[in-house]
Amino acid sequence: MYGTAGAGTRVWADADGRAQGRYFNSTLTSAFQSIRALADGRVCGYEAFARSYSESDQGLCVWKLLDHAANDDESVELDRLCRMLHSINFFRQPEAADADLYLSVHARLLAAVDGNHGTAFRRVLGVLELPQARLGAQCRPGIIRAVRAPNRQSEPHEMTIAPYSAFCVLVVPGLHGSGPEHWQTRWQRLHPEFERVQQAYWDVPELAVWSARLGRALQQSARPTLIVAHSFGCLATVHCAHAGLPNVAGALLVAPADPFKFDVAHMLADVRLPYPSLLVGSANDPWMEGRRASQWAARWGSAFVNLGALGHINAESGLGDWPAGLSLLRELAATASAFIAPAQGRPALREQDAR
């Protein structure tokens, strides 16, 4: 496609007409998830994700490659390949007739992407006769900008849905970890770039130990971090706030366990979280029912959401991928973008040459 040495990039259609791409040893294609308005739940667009597999090994994790392995030319080529696959696969579907598609740009590439998201990409869209005005690309954290041809008279439309690529998203499971059908694990399958804290002993809830392990994981990330915690993992997250680590941008605390059940209330009662946080409770949670959860939310300075009778908000709750939870994470990410902006500023953008 763009000819980066060694990448072996190519594109083809499978038997079902779905576009697939080849990058090094892996085959890539697309998956889409709806973006819903928080006010009324209506679908206001779709976000695209890359899926990869390999016949010879585990294949590549697209965002991990961009984080650690690839050089800049390979990163730009992989990003463009994914965007082209997403555009083709999305707009060939009848359901996409009146829908907009939003494409995230990895944080590593933000400085290399201009406001129109690259001359070469616009050229490809034009050749394929795809609707440029219905494509959005992240041009800086918190802002999604429509891809427009240079000769269009209208100003690019902007909307503030929070791109996850602006942050490191760190998953913090609770007691016994999160199994394959838990929404935390399912989110990591949807977002392979999400990372997870690993505890040495998942069945031994020692708050100071879990908190220290979380602190070490946070210190390894150079990017602002959103914490996604569940159950006892929420308590470890709150306790870790004592360390005052500077790169935490926000925390989603889902179904926290009652601190009194683990005799750690005295360690958490006076903590005020120094970053935006959202505590999600359930009216019939056996580990901490909604009324007590709201009281702890007030102590910790967290906004509180009661989801009704959903038990412990885990695999047994039957949530599947829990898209409503992802909407809450987007809301938190938008708040976190505003929270970190005064301290860190916006990444500088430079004009990208056509490749």
Which of 166, 144, 146 shows the shortest CA–CA distance to 156?
146
Three-class DSSP labels, 232-261: HHHHHHHHHHHHCCCCEEEEEEECCCCHHH
DSSP string across 280-310: EE-TT-SSS-HHHHHHHHHHHT-EEEE--S-
What pLDDT does 66 receive?
Answer: 58
296: which 2 tokens?
A: 């702890």
Q: Mean pLDDT, to the nearest integer, of 336-343? A: 70
For residues 224 and 42, the model is more confident at 224
State the span(s) of the chain assigned CATH 3.40.50.1820: 167-341
What pLDDT does 40 receive?
Answer: 66
25, 54 contact by CB (below 8 A): yes
Q: In what order do the strands lie in the sheet with 303-306?
A: 195-196, 168-172, 225-230, 248-254, 277-281, 303-306
CA distance 323 to 320: 8
CA distance 284 to 266: 24
CA distance 333 to 277: 10
Residue 181 has pLDDT above 50, yes or no: yes
140, 346 contact by CB (below 8 A): yes
Q: How far from 167 is each of 142, 155, 278, CA to CA, in Å?
A: 10, 28, 17
What pLDDT does 156 receive?
Answer: 36
274, 339 contact by CB (below 8 A): no
Q: Point out the least confidently predicted range of 71-80, 119-128, 159-168.
A: 159-168
Phi/psi region, residue 120 (left: phi>0; alpha: psi -120 to 50; beta: rest), is alpha
What pLDDT does 189 receive?
Answer: 83
152: which 2 tokens?
A: 């269009």
CATH code reported for the domain at 167-341 = 3.40.50.1820
Residue 192 has pLDDT above 80, yes or no: no
Helix ranges restricted to H, the chain: 62-64, 72-91, 119-127, 183-190, 207-219, 232-240, 265-268, 290-300, 323-344
280: confidence class by pLDDT, cuts 50, 70, 90: very high
What pLDDT does 253 receive?
Answer: 98
Bridge partners (DSSP) listed for residue 279: 253, 304
Q: Mean pLDDT, to the nearest integer, of 264-276? A: 94
pTM across the whole model: 0.63
233: confidence class by pLDDT, cuts 50, 70, 90: very high
CA distance 138 to 311: 36
